[in-house]
Amino acid sequence: MSNVVIVGTQWGDEGKGKIVDLLSEFADIVVRFQGGNNAGHTMVVNGKQFISHLVPSGILQKKICLIGNGVVVDPAVLLEEIDYLNSKGIDIGPEKLRISEKAHIIMPYHKQVDLAREKMNGDKKIGTTGRGIGPSYEDKATRRGIRFVELLDSEVFSERVDIILKEKNFYLKNYLSSDTLDFNEIIDLYKNYSKKLAPYITNISIVIDEAIKAGKQILFEGAQGTHLDIDHGTYPYVTSSNTVSGNACCGAGIGPKEITGVIGIVKAYTTRVGQGPFPAELFDATGDKIQKNGAEFGATTGRKRRCGWLDTVMLRNSVRLNGLTGLAVTKLDVLGGIKSLNICTGYEYDGSIIHDFPANLKVLAACKPIYETMLGWSEDISSIRKIEGLPQNTRNYLSRIEELIKTPVNIVSVGPGRDETIVINNPF
Ligand code: IMP
């Protein structure tokens, strides 16, 4: 029996959706454990593209999908996504999708505060997705959040909104110079959400526990990436939850002894959306080529992603923080046609060489990448399904990653489609 966690190792957008979709075939249940609809998971099956923001990527494999207590859920977005998937012929009733009663709800003031704050901060902004994720986690920590269990009780829900909204409206009007929100409108809107979502809401921890006892296999789907983790990422240019594998336990309600493997998704190069330092960032024609060939636009916001070389200082950090047991290298095909490829192996800072990812952002911003250069390949690798079939230079690139971060490559993705994959070692 295997229970596997999948996490991003960089700054998100590593292609987790595709790998989760692929590996879901071997799982009985797929669980999202953190983040919210700031995530955008793209899956391509039989040439058809699907994007999900909240529903776990296991839905296309017709698996039971759970949204854990660690996720913050915008009910409007979830209902839209349920309709979208249903319209694509994917059955997503309460027998397929369950939401934790302890998951926190994104309220209209969360989105409004997120957007108004970013506007006020000007060039000091975080570059958030504007979905209200940060303000929602903030309220969770300050005990001003509202969970699904409260949404189901209309009296408690109204009481909570009444108290919280007074403070939010004061802040919106007097500090953020933004519009205020109407109590009755919120109550009516959320009453409707409550009615529609009630059949989906349950105790996820019990569902997972019973499944594990029955010998079922669970896949835990992370969102964002290790360097966007609230504790371990490039703070404050991070998201508001723990994106590392340890949070799979907390955000789903299970103990760590159940986890049997942790797969880190590594994009063959590095990208980042939003603000914050990025030592191996490219500002030249190669960066533009990668951005174009990799269609590096955010699945949630449509923003152009910043592109750079693969950075193994970051990856070593990820191996340690997540306890990675294997890697899935994605978008390897995108590097095709680039004559020589750089891999960042360390940083130069103030005359010395740094091998560990610094916490101080001023230091990180001043770090100069130290590169090792490898020969690229010009062949189209997207139709290759066996590791032995890859060009020698491509195999050298993969082997060097393994050596530099001391973790085996289990899966290689050579195109967006589910089948455009080389599985060397299946973690299930
Ligand atoms: P927030 O999560 O909307 O608060 O945004 C905080 C930071 O995390 C910003 O830099 C976002 O661009 C980034 N971010 C949030 N979600 C994702 C994601 O799914 N992929 C990549 N970056 C993300």
Assess if CATH 3.90.170.10 describes domain 266-423: yes
Residue to mutate (ligand 1; options 14, 239, 303; most atoms within 8 A of CB): 239
Chain mean pLDDT for the chain: 96
Determine if ligand 1 sits within 6 Å of the CB of residue 133.
Answer: yes
Sign of CA dihedral 32, 38, 39, 44: positive
Residue 51 confidence class, pLDDT cut points 50, 70, 90: confident
Domain locations in the chain as residue ranges = 3-100+201-261, 104-197, 266-423
Active site residues: 13, 41
Q: What is the pLDDT of residue 161?
A: 98
128 Cα–ligand 1 center, Å: 6
The answer to whether residue 321 scores a pLDDT higher than 90 is yes
The answer to whether residue 141 scores a pLDDT higher than 90 is yes
Residue to mutate (ligand 1; options 18, 38, 51; most atoms within 8 A of CB): 38
Rounded to a whole number of angstroms, the distance between the first and last alpha carbons of the chain is 8
The residue contributing the CA closest to ligand 1 atom 8 is: 239
The residue contributing the CA closest to ligand 1 atom 20 is: 12
CB 219 within 8 A of CB 21: no
Residue 42 confidence class, pLDDT cut points 50, 70, 90: confident
Residue to mutate (ligand 1; options 14, 228, 241; most atoms within 8 A of CB): 228
Determine if ligand 1 sits within 6 Å of the CB of residue 230.
Answer: no
The residue contributing the CA closest to ligand 1 atom 16 is: 38
Q: What is the pLDDT of residue 403?
A: 98
15 Cα–ligand 1 center, Å: 15
- For the structural domain made of 3-100+201-261, what CATH number should be given? 3.40.440.10
Instruction: Give the closest residue to 292 by CA, choosing from 266, 339, 331, 341.
Output: 331
Determine if ligand 1 sits within 6 Å of the CB of residue 273.
Answer: yes
d(C-alpha 288, C-alpha 83), whole Å: 36
Sign of CA dihedral 395, 400, 403, 406: negative
The answer to whether residue 300 scores a pLDDT higher than 80 is no
Q: What is the pLDDT of residues 213-229, one digit of tens each?
A: 999 999 999 999 999 99
* Exposure of 427 in the CB half-sphere (CA atoms within 13 A): 31
Question: If 0-12 CB within 10 Å is exposed, 13-18 middle and 19+ buried, where does residue 79 land?
Answer: middle
268 secondary structure, DSSP code: S
Maximum pairwise Cα distance, the chain: 66
The residue contributing the CA closest to ligand 1 atom 19 is: 39
Q: What is the pLDDT of residue 45?
A: 86
Sign of CA dihedral 240, 19, 417, 373: positive
Mean pLDDT of 204-208: 98
Determine if ligand 1 sits within 6 Å of the CB of residue 57.
Answer: no
Mean pLDDT of 340-345: 98
Domain 3-100+201-261 matches domain 104-197 at the CATH topology level: no
Q: What is the pLDDT of residues 62-117, one digit of tens each?
A: 999 999 999 999 999 999 999 999 999 998 999 999 999 999 999 999 999 999 99
**Which superfamily does 104-197 belong to?**
Adenylosuccinate Synthetase, subunit A, domain 2 (1.10.300.10)
The answer to whether residue 299 scores a pLDDT higher than 80 is no
Instruction: Give the closest residue to 137 by CA, choosing from 237, 36, 39, 252.
Output: 36
In DSSP terms, which residues pair with 249 in a beta bridge? none
